[in-house]
Structure 1
Amino acid sequence: MAVKLVATDLDGTLLNNGKKFDYQRFTALLDQMDARDMKLVVATGNHLDQIKQYFAPVNPARLLYISSNGAMVSDNEDILYERPVSKAQIKKVVAWNASTRAEMENLIILSGAKAAYVSNHATPEIIQAVRQFYPRVEQIDKLVEVDDDILVMELIWPENANVKEYVKELRQTFGEELHTTGSGFGSVSILAAHTDKSTGLKALSDIYGIQPDEMAAFGDNSNDLEMLRYVGHPYVMPNAEAFMHERIPSTAVADNEHDGVIATIEQLIEQEDQKR
């Protein structure tokens, strides 16, 4: 069955290590996809404001977005779907962090639809670091009193921290009430229950009438697994860790430093054209 929708992760997947990709080649690819009524979806843990900055050189209006690890689905103008974390759940996680990790230096970021929020205790250096990933950052007195739809709670430890152990502890503590996943770089993402990148693809399936076996997806990390398992044509990046290749056998034709996502989609289009 012909591929009608392609979803791609960003870091380690579409983006090279300099946070860029071949803009001219990507624009030409979008032209080919538009001519065949194929949709390209960016599926990432990043906030929507940050994502659009990456795509400013190629016109962000041409894409669909699954942001915040599946908690929000949007086009360039409108929110199509969202699954926020409740205030009661935020309170529980903040209490868990204070009681079990108070002696450790970690940072809680609430990623909302309007902005990202951190404690008033955060230093200017921390705020500057957070702005690299969240263009709009607000400091507040109490995290549990934010007036916004909170899509993701990010708990961030130093990069050498054992994030897998924290993910395990959070899953044991909150069970099916919340979805917890490691996002790399010492970060743990906490979302509403049963929320991941595949949730966003399911929403797009309902909206556009595109079935999973008509979708392809690209990823490199554990928070991509649900998405890769959902689609009919999953691809792991060659630069992904071994456990990803063990779970998903198909591999993109090149790594993220050599525009592997673009090259593989070009190959898919060529193969589909040959069948016609």
Structure 2
Amino acid sequence: MTADIQLIATDLDGTFLRDDKTFDEVLFKSVLQKLKIKNIPFVITTGVHQERINVLLANFLDSGLAFVNNNGARVLTSAGEVIYERTISAAILRQVQQLLIDFPVKPDRGLVYSTDDTAYVPRQYSGTMTAYKARFFQHIKIFDDVSEIKAPILKVTMNWEHFNETKFYEAAKLTLDHAIHVTETGTGAIDIVPATVNKAVGLKKLADHLGIDMANVAAFGDGGNDLEMLSSVGHPYVMPNATLQGDFNHIEIDNNHAGVLKTILDII
């Protein structure tokens, strides 16, 4: 038992969720009950937007969960209060749009400018918005130029098939320098979020709000967008599939066999 854990955070895709995007709901309910008794809050820290979380965790939205979504761009308390939010300015959106226009390899699996419930999709990519993707947004809006978007955009997500994304990373950093942060999503895509935004930043905002030191936080992750978070907490746990480098605890049970939930039971 790790007595000093006061907050537990987990990534979703590749970590908490099975590969088919489901999870052991009976075990999760049991774990949440045990955490409640010990007064340990549970937070979802993910690259995806809130509406997608709401669909995936539909049966647990009244269970006192907190959320760090959009790779740290938005933080909600268990009471639903937004305590932190960073959006991409209109000027940066124009630069991102131009970068994608100029980049020789187009994101053939999709391009979305998103809020927490609305997908803004460039007209030329409207065909990539499949029914499966659409179910994770309340609204889909097609546009021709980013100047038409009036809502605050939290992230831009793009996805290629059979393409080395590091080439886009390099182009984005060369073009936009410190104006953005480019990271993976955990779902096989790439996100552009505001500069200085990552899961560690969002999680610390929540921990500070709760009066909890990051040394007393346990976090679970598997991908590159979890690295800052795992490096910032006192109890970092990585999944068997992770290739992250750092002083992390490696758990042996994978995401398809409730590795996160079983490890939580062990450490509390």
TM-score, normalised to structure 1, is 0.89
Q: Name the CA shift for 1:220/1:247 in 2 (closer, same or farther; >3 Å).
A: same
C-alpha deviation, 1:184, in angstroms: 5.2
The equivalent of 2:144 in structure 1 is 141
Identity %: 32
Mapped to 1, the partners of 2:180 and 2:48 lie a distance apart of 19
Indicate if the aligned counterparts of 2:87 and 2:193 stay in contact, CA closer than 8 A.
yes
Indicate if the aligned counterparts of 2:67 and 2:76 stay in contact, CA closer than 8 A.
yes
Q: Name the CA shift for 1:34/1:185 in 2 (closer, same or farther; >3 Å).
A: closer
The residue correspondences of 1:238-257 to structure 2 (distance < 5 A) are: 238-240=240-242, 243-244=243-244, 246-257=245-256
The equivalent of 2:266 in structure 1 is 267
Mapped to 1, the partners of 2:252 and 2:240 lie a distance apart of 8
**Quick one: which of 87, 90, 95 aligns to 1:92?**
95
Q: CA RMSD in A?
A: 2.0
Task: Tell me the SS of whatever aligns to 1:118.
Answer: strand
C-alpha deviation, 1:20, in angstroms: 1.1
Mapped to 2, the partners of 1:212 and 1:107 lie a distance apart of 36
The equivalent of 2:194 in structure 1 is 192
Relative CO higher for 1 or 2, CA cutoff 8 Å, sep ≥ 6? Answer: 2
Paired AA for residue 98 in structure 2: A
Indicate if the aligned counterparts of 2:51 and 2:117 stay in contact, CA closer than 8 A.
no
Mapped to 2, the partners of 1:117 and 1:223 lie a distance apart of 23
User: Is the deviation greater in 12-21 or in 166-175?
Assistant: 166-175
**Quick one: which of 32, 35, 38 aligns to 2:37?**
35
C-alpha deviation, 1:237, in angstroms: 0.3
The residue correspondences of 1:123-162 to structure 2 (distance < 5 A) are: 123-124=126-127, 126-158=129-161, 160-162=162-164
Mapped to 1, the partners of 2:84 and 2:106 lie a distance apart of 38
C-alpha deviation, 1:250, in angstroms: 1.0
**Quick one: which of 37, 53, 56 aligns to 1:54?**
56
C-alpha deviation, 1:61, in angstroms: 4.1
The equivalent of 2:235 in structure 1 is 233
Q: 2:122 matched to 1:122? A: no
Q: Name the CA shift for 1:268/1:104 in 2 (closer, same or farther; >3 Å).
A: closer
C-alpha deviation, 1:151, in angstroms: 0.4
User: Is the deviation greater in 31-40 or in 165-174?
Assistant: 165-174
**Quick one: which of 209, 222, 225 aligns to 2:224?**
222
Q: Name the CA shift for 1:235/1:103 in 2 (closer, same or farther; >3 Å).
A: closer
C-alpha deviation, 1:69, in angstroms: 0.6
TM-score, normalised to structure 2, is 0.91
Q: Name the CA shift for 1:253/1:71 in 2 (closer, same or farther; >3 Å).
A: same
The equivalent of 2:24 in structure 1 is 22
Q: Name the CA shift for 1:147/1:161 in 2 (closer, same or farther; >3 Å).
A: same
The equivalent of 1:273 in structure 2 is none
Task: Tell me the SS of whatever aligns to 1:38.
Answer: coil
The residue correspondences of 1:157-196 to structure 2 (distance < 5 A) are: 157-158=160-161, 160-183=162-185, 187-196=189-198
C-alpha deviation, 1:248, in angstroms: 4.1
C-alpha deviation, 1:125, in angstroms: 5.2
The unaligned stretches of length 5 or more in structure 2 are none
Task: Tell me the SS of whatever aligns to 1:20.
Answer: coil
C-alpha deviation, 1:153, in angstroms: 0.9
Q: Name the CA shift for 1:12/1:114 in 2 (closer, same or farther; >3 Å).
A: closer
Task: Tell me the SS of whatever aligns to 2:39.
Answer: coil
Mapped to 2, the partners of 1:123 and 1:161 lie a distance apart of 20
Indicate if the aligned counterparts of 2:179 and 2:195 stay in contact, CA closer than 8 A.
yes
The unaligned stretches of length 5 or more in structure 1 are 270-276
Indicate if the aligned counterparts of 2:110 and 2:159 stay in contact, CA closer than 8 A.
yes
Indicate if the aligned counterparts of 1:46 and 1:133 stay in contact, CA closer than 8 A.
no
C-alpha deviation, 1:21, in angstroms: 1.1
C-alpha deviation, 1:147, in angstroms: 1.4
Q: Name the CA shift for 1:105/1:16 in 2 (closer, same or farther; >3 Å).
A: closer
Indicate if the aligned counterparts of 1:114 and 1:148 stay in contact, CA closer than 8 A.
no
Indicate if the aligned counterparts of 2:48 and 2:69 stay in contact, CA closer than 8 A.
yes
